[in-house]
Structure 1
C-alpha cells in the first residue's frame, strides 16, 4: 500500500480490533503456478502474544496455494467508501476513498485432523453465538467430522503487517465533520471509525 505516514496503523491492538470486526479475509499465495487468491473467514487467537489467526481451506485450495510451503498475504478489509469532493471546501475538487485495511504476512502452519475439527468448532461457535437458536457442530459429530475431512485447518502467526486507516486526516476538522455526517447516512460503520479516530470538533482548523 502507498506509504503515507498520517494513515499508518502501527498498533497491533488496532489491527486485532480490525480482524475481529472484519473476519472475511482474502488469502493470496505466490504459488509456483502464479498468484492464487481465495476467501475464507478468520478467527483471532486471543491468547496469543503475537497476532495469530485461525482459518481453514476447502480442498483442493490448500494444494493450489501450496499451503504451508511459503509466506502468504492475508488481506483484512474494514469499512470503506467513496468520499465525494462535494463535501469539501470550495476549490477542493479531488475526491478519494476512505478505508481501513491490513495486510498480514506469515507462513501458515497446517493443523492435524483433530486440531482442525476443534478449530472448526470454535469458528462455528464464534459466529453462531450471534444468532438466535445458534447451532453447534457437536449436534452431529459424525456428520460434521465427515465434512471436516474436506477442509484443511491453518494457524498463521503474523510475522509482519502493513496497515492503513485512511479517514480524511488530511482535512480540517470542519471538513472532516461534514464528511463523517454525510458518510453516516449510508455507511455508519465507516463514519464510526472516523468519529473514533477523529472526534467531532468545534470546527477550528487542524
Structure 2
C-alpha cells in the first residue's frame, strides 16, 4: 500500500484498536501457481507478549488454506471512506478525491487442524462477536452440532510481521480547506461521510 508520510499511522495501539473495530477483513495469499487468492473473513486480534497474533477460520472446501501453512499472507482491514468533491474547496484548479482509512497486516500463517485448538479459536471468535447481544449464543447449548461442524473448517493463526496503517484525511490540504470538507461531509448521507468528518476533526484538533 502506497502511504505518503502525511497519511501514515504509526501508533501501534491505535492500529490494533482500529483492526478490532473493523475486524471483518480480506485474507490474501498466493497459491502454488502464484495466483492470488482472497477470502472475506472475521478476524480476532490477540496481543501475546511482544507478538501480535491474528486468528480466524475458513471453510475446509475453500482451497486457499491448502497452500498457506508457513507462508506469508496479507490481511486488509478497511475502515470508513467517503468521496470528497473538489467543489467544496470553492477554489479553482482543484480535483476531487477519496478519504479513507486502511490497515495492511502481513504475517506468517500456521494452519490449525487439531480439534481442541480449533474449538478454542471458534469459541473465542464467537464470544468476541456475541458481546453486547441481549441473548448471546452459547456453545454449551449447541455442543453436538458445533463438534460436527469442526470437521468442516480449518483455523489459521497468523503471526504479524508488519503493519502498515494509512489515514487519508486531507492532511495535505490547508486547515481552511479541511474545515470546508468537514462541514460538507457532515451533511452527506453516502458512504461513511459523517464518520470520516469526525476523524478529520480529530486530526485537525491535533494539527496532524
TM-score normalised by the chain length of structure 2: 0.88
Distance (whole Å) between structure 2 residues aligned to residue 128 and residue 20 of structure 1? 14
Shift of the alpha carbon at 1:47? 4.3
Q: Is the 8 A contact 2:31 2:64 kept in 1?
A: no
> Residue 180 of structure 2 aligns to a residue in which SS?
helix
Query: Which of residues 100, 121, 125 is equivalent to 2:123?
Result: 121
Which residue in 1 is equivalent to 2:56? 55
Q: Is the 8 A contact 2:65 2:154 kept in 1?
A: no
> Residue 105 of structure 2 aligns to a residue in which SS?
strand
User: Quick check: 46-55 or 23-32, which moved more?
Assistant: 46-55
Q: Is the 8 A contact 1:36 1:65 kept in 2?
A: no
Shift of the alpha carbon at 1:73? 0.8
Superposition map of 1:36-115 within 5 A: 36-63=37-64, 66-111=67-112, 112-115=114-117
Shift of the alpha carbon at 1:48? 4.4
Shift of the alpha carbon at 1:137? 2.2
Query: Which of residues 160, 163, 166 is equivalent to 1:164?
Result: 166
Query: Which of residues 178, 196, 206 is equivalent to 2:202?
Result: 196
Which residue in 2 is equivalent to 1:138? 140
Give ranges in structure 1 of 5+ residues lacking alignment.
none
User: Quick check: 105-114 or 43-52, which moved more?
Assistant: 43-52
- Between structures 1 and 2, the one with greater strand share: 2
Distance (whole Å) between structure 2 residues aligned to residue 48 and residue 62 of structure 1? 32
Distance (whole Å) between structure 1 residues aligned to residue 3 and residue 199 of structure 2? 20
Which residue in 2 is equivalent to 1:28? 28
Query: Alpha carbons of 1:195 and 1:83: their partners in 2 closer, same or farther (altered >3 Å)?
Result: same
User: Quick check: 67-76 or 54-63, which moved more?
Assistant: 54-63
Distance (whole Å) between structure 2 residues aligned to residue 86 and residue 145 of structure 1? 57
Give ranges in structure 2 of 5+ residues lacking alignment.
none
Shift of the alpha carbon at 1:107? 1.3
Q: Is the 8 A contact 1:59 1:151 kept in 2?
A: yes
Distance (whole Å) between structure 2 residues aligned to residue 103 and residue 136 of structure 1? 32
Q: Is the 8 A contact 1:43 1:55 kept in 2?
A: yes
TM-score normalised by the chain length of structure 1: 0.89
Distance (whole Å) between structure 2 residues aligned to residue 184 and residue 47 of structure 1? 39
Please say if 1:14 is aligned against 2:20.
Answer: no
Distance (whole Å) between structure 1 residues aligned to residue 182 and residue 46 of structure 2? 32
Q: Is the 8 A contact 1:29 1:73 kept in 2?
A: yes
* Cα root mean square deviation, aligned: 2.0
Query: Alpha carbons of 1:47 and 1:79: their partners in 2 closer, same or farther (altered >3 Å)?
Result: same
User: Quick check: 34-43 or 54-63, which moved more?
Assistant: 54-63
Q: Is the 8 A contact 1:45 1:52 kept in 2?
A: yes
